[in-house]
Structure 1
Amino acid sequence: MTLQVRSRPAPNLLKTAKVFDFFCGCGGASAGFRAAGLEIAFGLDNDSDAAQTFQSNFTGAEFILADIEQVSEDAIDGLVDAWADHPLLFNACAPCQPFSKQRRGVADPDDTRLQLLYHLLRFVYRHRPELIFAENVPGLRDGSAGKDLFQRFTQALSELGYRVSHGVIRSQDYGVPQRRGRLVLMASLLGSIAHPKETHGPDSPSPKYSTVADWIGSLPAIAAGETHPTMPSHRAARLSPLNLERIRATPPGGGWRDLPPHLQPNSRRSGFKGYTDVYGRLRWNAPAPALTTRCISYSNGRFGHPQQDRALSIREAAALQTFPIEFTFTGNLNSQAKQIGNAVPALLAQRFGESIIAHLKQLSQNDY
């Protein structure tokens, strides 16, 4: 790179780290980092609805609504200078769709989303944050579309002096009520950094995984197409008469194969080989499958309520993504579902945020 590097004084590691959230979406990662004790200083995203959600929940943070390709790395000079004596954490959870196993076919080499992490490097090179966090689908590291990109990204960080740790984790091992495998990268200019230990599952402090019932079992009942009068975002999509008949015939934990022949979708009965986990209900006493951008659609995944004859509401989907109950969303129903499905589970970010705080504390005690 031929970018200008700015010098920063060594921060006071006892001061609260400031989070600069690139590709912030609605703020799932920021919600978790804030819960851990970090402070959110900045957000950047190109989705106007997600931007409004982020800004309404993180009122003290600066925000840029734009594609990162269109933002100069010097655009945040003033904000970086304002927090010169604080450690900085650059969070970079870029859109994962080009690398997802849910994607059909081969990734388009001209898809500009494949290059987003390189644009982040412009900001890293100029400002040298002490810490970097990135979360994405495992295909970013292991898939054909992302493997070379990820290797070059981690190599660039190493050449800049970062100690890098990355690996595929299971979100349910950190208390998230979803079976959701994710690639997590952590990098530090200050010294070696490691992923936190699992909090849930065998040989952990909580042997049992969090379940759907733990997170949405106490929410009030509503019908398909209904909005709860007092609970924000507790709104469920309508169901067609046919899909209402289907979900009434679906047992808890069941799917389209459990339907009588006359209710089974034609594409499934004719030997469809695509997604099979559709037209399904969740199980109360188990984690949910990974939520997607269509997490409130009964026909697009196992997103039917375990008991009520409807799909998940926005509030329930947000709860399964471990957003706090007071977190509010803006945009229409589909936009809110997209924001939630694209988000980093807040509790996952919280656990990693806590480990980042421990990393800084340990270094401060070692007189870094």
Structure 2
Amino acid sequence: MKPRIIDLFCGAGGFSRGFKESGFNIVFAIDNDPACGKSYKTNFPEAIVLIDDIKNVSGSDITYFTQGKYDVVIGSPPCEPFTGANPNRERDPLDRLYKDPIGRLTLEFIRIVGELKPKVFVMENVPAILDEPIRNSLIYEFQYVGYNQIYFNVLDAEKYGTPSRRRRVFISNVPINPKPVKRLIRVIDALSDLPPPSQSNIPNHEYVPISDKKMKKISRLRHGKALYYYYGDSKVLPNFIKLDPYRIAPTVLGSSRFIHPFENRLLTVREQARLMGYPDDHIFFGGKDQQFNQVGESVPPTLSFAIAKFLMETMFK
């Protein structure tokens, strides 16, 4: 029997996608965004998808919906309270976890894990969630719900077949150490076989409108340079980056837009999804900004697949 998966804060299903392709059975997912829920249900019709605030849901509710034991709980609580890209994050690190209402959603993930007691849990977030003393607090919270061994697995998505850079931590009760791929995937490798948007019926592959003024500025950009730079709490971040075709793309974010390496236009949602390792049959719903957010705020399916394959081989043989 296939191991059963529950996905909390499921988004459009990037995290789940790799697990499904590795042989896991996706049985339940929850997100509070209806557009994410529609995207998820379309891509995982076998799963029960609940659109609700996770604070309103208990482990017994999930058990009622799906009638069974769960082997793995995965999820990606929002990273905004922790990331240095957020200019408004709390000064005190502990306030990011215990005071910020969005940061407290991480505690809701831990609560449900404690109520369901899966064999394995995997919680994804930005490495800044490991800032002290948040790291020790997470250990305490997971121990409080019954998990004494906690591992902070920091992985780089580009080492596992993702055409863009992305360093994330996967907090789990087991060590996760997948084998990297032998060759990095460049932007040109990811995008070169896509037809122009005007000549395609590939889902989510439509032109993104842009003003003539921005178009002129874009035409003068060199590869690797950005049209805008903005300040986070601890870093300066570029936006409207003209991609270098012979390098790995920068980190894809929900708020970021990339410029095509050879054409004076923004990437389509599908092209941006390609840079996250999504296959073309993974569909995104909602407005354009919602679709870009679903792509940029997800776990790359290529990285998820590496994690799931490792767990399947080490924990579920």
* TM-score normalised by structure 2 residue count: 0.89
Within-5 A mapping of 1:186-205 = 186-187=172-173, 193-200=174-181
- Residue of 113, 117, 129 corresponding to 2:102: 113
Deviation at 1:44, TM superposition (A): 0.4
Kept in 2, the 8 Å contact 1:22–1:91? The answer is: yes
Q: Deviations over 1:100-151 (max 9, x none)?
A: 121114328442121112222332222211110111100111267x445423
Q: Give the structure 1 partner of residue 13 of structure 2.
A: 27
Structure 1 residues 160-169 or 111-120, which shifts more? 160-169
The offset of 1:221, in angstroms, is 2.3
Which residue of 210, 222, 243 maps to 1:282?
243
Indicate the residue corresponding to 1:173 in structure 2.
159
Q: Deviations over 1:216-258 (max 9, x none)?
A: 1211124xxxx554111102311111110011111222334xx
Q: Which residue of 1 aligns with 2:49?
A: 63
Unaligned regions of 5+ residues in structure 1, if any?
1-14, 188-192, 201-205, 257-264, 298-302, 363-368
Q: Quick check: 1:92 aligned with 2:67?
A: no
CA gap 1:350/1:319 in 2 versus in 1, 3 angstroms: same
Distance across 1 between alignment mates of 2:153 and 2:312: 20
Q: Does 1:352 align with 2:313?
A: no
Q: How many correspondences in the alignment? A: 308
1:156: Cα distance to partner? 3.1
For 2:68, the equivalent position in structure 1 comes to 83
Which of the residues 294, 310, 334 maps onto 2:255?
Answer: 294
Change (3 A) 1:351 1:274: closer
Give RMSD over aligned pairs: 2.3
Please say which of residues 104-113 and 228-237 is displaced more in the overlay: 104-113
The answer to whether residue 237 in structure 2 is matched with residue 249 in structure 1 is no
Counterpart CA distance in 1 for 2:14 and 2:132 is 25
- 1:296-348 deviations in whole A, cap 9, x for unaligned? x3xxxxx1111111111100111111111101111111110111111110111
* Match of residue 184 from structure 2: 209
Match of 1:259 in 2: none
CA gap of 1:197–1:62, structure 2 versus 1, over 3 A, is: closer
Cα distance in structure 2, aligned partners of 1:30 and 1:238: 31
Q: Who is 1:307 aligned against?
A: 262
Q: Distance in 2 between matches of 1:122 and 1:62?
A: 20
CA distance 1:284–1:61, shift in 2 (3 Å): same
- Provide the residue aligned with 1:336 in structure 2: 291
* Contact in 2 for aligned 1:26/1:51 (Cα 8 Å): yes
Amino acid at match of 2:149: R
**Distance in 2 between the 1:136 and 1:276 partners?**
18
User: Is the CA contact 1:252–1:307 (under 8 Å) kept in the aligned structure 2?
Assistant: no
C-alpha separation between the residues in 2 aligned to 1:106 and 1:136? 15
* SS in structure 1 at match of 2:2: coil
**Within the alignment, does 1:103 sit opposite 2:58 as a pair?**
no
Tell me the percent identity.
Answer: 24
Q: CA deviation at 1:197?
A: 3.5
Residue type of the alignment partner of 2:221 = T
| Whole-angstrom distance in 1 between the partners of 2:235 and 2:130 | 24
Which residue does 1:127 correspond to in 2?
116
Contact preservation (8 Å) 2:178, 2:307: no
Pair member with larger Rg: 1
Structure 2: segments with no counterpart, 5+ residues: none
Q: Which amino acid aligns with 1:153?
A: E
C-alpha separation in 1, matches of 2:247 and 2:297? 22
Other-structure match for 1:221: 196
Cα distance change of structure 1 residues 17 and 237 upon mapping to structure 2, 3 Å threshold? same
